[in-house]
Amino acid sequence: MTLLELQGVEKSFGGLSVLDGVTFSVETGSIQGLIGPNGAGKTTIFNIVSGLLRADAGTVVFDGEEITEMAPRRIARRGIGRTFQITRPYPGMTSRDNLLPGLLYAGGYDRVRDARTRATELLELVDLGADATEESRSLTMSEQKRLEIARALATEPELLLLDEVFAGLSHEDINRQIELIERIQSDLDITIILIEHVMEATMTICDQVGVLANGGIIAEDVPAEIAHNEQVIDVYLGSGGEGVGGGVDA
Ligand SMILES: Nc1ncnc2c1ncn2[C@@H]1O[C@H](COP(=O)(O)OP(=O)(O)OP(=O)(O)O)[C@@H](O)[C@H]1O
Ligand SMILES: [Mg+2]
């Protein structure tokens, strides 16, 4: 079943056309990769799907309902959660309290006490149980990435949009993060779209990978096919990357 469908989505900033008819769909229960050179418009797609930006044209349908014009908070309540490429923990708050706004405003929790209990569970899920009462600013890069994922999970999403949650991580942390994302998909039954430059991660966990370049999806296939797709390799080499099989990094 299709959970999310974009049809002919367009977006320009000033005179710069970034998305020029983006069409793709995501199946329920899958992990869908979204790759493409820097500046291709990947984060812009997440901003449109989560309602932070309006598309100039085209439609976004989630779970059978058009959400193209919906406000971000309604979209979050409707079941789409997201992380931000630049992690933004609330300063001066503990890791656990960072999850409360999401739980209370979009996650369906009315009582702070229940929200705190759920926050503790979610922190345990992302291996931050021991840091629940640490101030979020004191977390390492890897811990901040996991807190960012927990914050997105706090809105109790059906669809989770992950924007470069592997960036800047060590090899060991990448493997840990891969396990975490697989656990989220299988244990919590959440569909995932993963924007990523770390190919090792994309190729390992994605069921399907879409490639965004020159304003549209230029290829969509299983990871093994994408890695050998000539058009995709050209796009990456043209952007000064190391090729799709290597470690193209932001
Ligand atoms: N709110 C905005 N206002 C103006 N320009 C924007 C805005 N958001 C994105 N852009 C521009 O749109 C283009 C695509 O940006 P976007 O962040 O979506 O790319 P990306 O594929 O996520 O890149 P990266 O891999 O570097 O994160 C860039 O040229 C960017 O400068
Ligand atoms: Mg981006």
User: Which pLDDT score is estimated for 240?
Assistant: 53
CA dist 120 and 75 (Å) reads 24
CATH 3.40.50.300 positions along the chain are: 1-79+159-175+183-250
Report residue 242's pLDDT band, with 50, 70 and 90 as the boundaries: low
User: Which pLDDT score is estimated for 90?
Assistant: 85
Q: Which atom of ligand 1 is found nearest the CA of 47?
A: 18
- Nearest-CA residue for ligand 1 atom 17 is 43
Architecture of domain 1-79+159-175+183-250: 3-Layer(aba) Sandwich (3.40)
Average pLDDT over residues 40-58: 98
**Is the whole model's pTM more than 0.85, yes or no?**
yes
Residue of 16, 6, 19, 25 lying closest to 56 (CA atoms): 19
Q: Which atom of ligand 1 is found nearest the CA of 11?
A: 12
Residue of 21, 48, 39, 37 lying closest to 215 (CA atoms): 21
Q: Whole-number mean pLDDT of the chain?
A: 92
CA of 40 to the centre of ligand 2 (A): 8
CA of 106 to the centre of ligand 1 (A): 26
Query: Among 35, 43, 45, 199, which residue has the most ligand 1 atoms within 8 Å of its CB, making it the best to mutate?
Result: 43
Average pLDDT over residues 237-243: 58
Q: Which atom of ligand 1 is found nearest the CA of 46?
A: 18
Report residue 247's pLDDT band, with 50, 70 and 90 as the boundaries: very low
For residue 109, pLDDT over 80 is answered with yes
Report residue 244's pLDDT band, with 50, 70 and 90 as the boundaries: low
